Amino acid sequence: MKDYHISRHSSFYTIGLNYKKADAVIRGKFSLDESAMDNLLTQAKNQGIDGLLVTSTCNRTELHGFAQHPFQLIKLLCDNTKGNVEEFQNVAYIYKNNDAISHLFKVGTGLDSQILGDFEIISQLKQSFNRSKKQNLANPFIERLCNSVIQASKRIKNETEISSGATSVAFASVQYIMRNIPDISNKNILLFGMGKIGRNTCENLIKHTNNSHITLINRTKDKAEKVGGKFNLIVKDYGDLQTEIRNTDVLIVATGANSPTISKELIYTKKPLLILDLSIPKNVDEDVTELENVTVIHLDHLSQMTDETLERRKQFIPQAEEINKVIKDEFIQWLETRKFAPVIKALNKKLKTMKEEELDYQSKKMTDFNSKQADVVSNRIIQKITKQFANHLKETGNDSDDSLQLIKKVFQLELNNNE
């Protein structure tokens, strides 16, 4: 990728890890909550980084931003998580410039999701952009890139069927329950955690299981009551968690804690208990698997489930990739325009200086000189000249570098360091 005037002294990088090489434990070590993301952005700003996006989901943690070397971004990530550089290097990927742009398009349009066509990431990308904007780390490049990815995502949703059918981590968990728990409509189900995944799972449970024995628990009870009121479900206090686990047949854990919320000490059951852990990092302690009658399934296992819906979605990948290519090419064209924008700006300034000098000379020389008319006419001529040069540079495309140098030489242009 050529220098698209992205930055004078740095390149655009994506550094990160995802479900393909990093298991849930490693992803948990590198996960970032909102506070950690804010701290990371503040540190980046203090280091002089002028554009950065941070995304952290169940399936991936990524930094997209400008740096002199990708290690700047890797260190920022490691300084704000429980992971270290050696662990990161074992599972990580690093993309630069054009490859980094392509990767973000692929991620943001569901083509790199653990479940193909899952567009949950696009709302998280919007949140990441808003977080960076508040910290003044969303430069024009970052803003335009995010908008382009969002545009591609919308087109792929509207013009393809890659997200058709009910397939998500929430739905996959309900599918698993229905396949493995006989007579599910008469079993007791306990849902612990009322974040987005918890709420989506709750809706899928009601829609597909015909079960009226669903109990909700959340650390902050009002969140659970809001969902429970909507679907007429039982809501219990957080202090009742141990008692409710004893009475349940299926426990779904959708909490967002940095350490386990379900431990061996909480579970006393004489009947079979299925536990689904939909959290990253894992919120069900490893020692729970030692208990008799208890089966623990993590979302990584659920995400590997393939069905007819996923197979059908695969046929729309080429169409989605073509949409990505079209919008990415438009973004690259915009980058090309930004490359010569400083030269056109400097040319415009130079021509206006020449105009002012000439008008001043003519006004002293001619007694009936109409300076207002002359100003209007000369400004229009300058506008046409600069537009002609801009069009020429656009048409030359990749060969525009020679033209840029010639314009700068002929008009003796001086560009500001910030341009």
Question: For 316-323, what is the mean pLDDT?
Answer: 95
> Residue 306 pLDDT more than 60?
no
Question: For 103-118, what is the mean pLDDT?
Answer: 90
Percent of the chain whose pLDDT exceeds 70: 93
> Residue 127 pLDDT more than 70?
yes
The confidence band for 108, taking pLDDT boundaries of 50, 70 and 90, is very high
What's the pLDDT at 2?
A: 38
What's the pLDDT at 4?
A: 39
> Residue 173 pLDDT more than 80?
yes
What's the pLDDT at 404?
A: 78
Residue 108 sits at φ, ψ, to 5 deg, of -70, -15
CB 135 within 8 A of CB 53: no
pLDDT tens digits, one per residue of 5-55: 455 557 999 999 999 999 989 999 999 999 999 999 999 999 999 899 999
Is 268 strand, coil or helix? coil
Residues paired with 274 in a beta bridge:
250, 295
Who wins on pLDDT, 223 or 256? 223
Q: What does DSSP assign to residue 399?
A: G
Who wins on pLDDT, 169 or 379? 379
The confidence band for 416, taking pLDDT boundaries of 50, 70 and 90, is low
Average pLDDT over all residues of the chain: 89
Is 83 strand, coil or helix? coil
Is 362 strand, coil or helix? helix
What's the pLDDT at 6?
A: 53
Of 270, 327, 263, give the one whose Cα is nearest residue 289. 263
> Residue 351 pLDDT more than 50?
yes
The confidence band for 166, taking pLDDT boundaries of 50, 70 and 90, is low
Lowest mean pLDDT among 85-89, 108-112, 279-283, 405-409: 405-409
According to DSSP, the β-strands at 234-236 and 214-217 are parallel
Q: What does DSSP assign to residue 265?
A: G
CB 339 within 8 A of CB 3: yes
The confidence band for 255, taking pLDDT boundaries of 50, 70 and 90, is very high
H helical segments located in 12-168: 24-29, 34-46, 70-79, 85-91, 98-108, 120-134, 140-159
**Chain centre distance of CA 340:** 29
Catalytic residue numbers read 58
Element spanning 326, H or E:
helix 317-365
Amino acid symbol at 184: I
What's the pLDDT at 419?
A: 46
State the Cα–Cα distance between residues 132 and 146, nearest whole angstrom: 11
As a dihedral over the C-alpha atoms of residue 224, residue 225, residue 231, residue 232, rounded to 10 degrees, the angle is 130
> Residue 362 pLDDT more than 70?
yes
Question: For 186-211, what is the mean pLDDT?
Answer: 91
Who wins on pLDDT, 394 or 365? 365
Distances (CA, A) of 43 to 40, 48, 66, 276: 5, 9, 14, 37
One-character DSSP codes across 160-174: --TT-SS-SHHHHHH
What's the pLDDT at 280?
A: 87
Q: Which two tokens stand for residue 189?
A: 């189900």
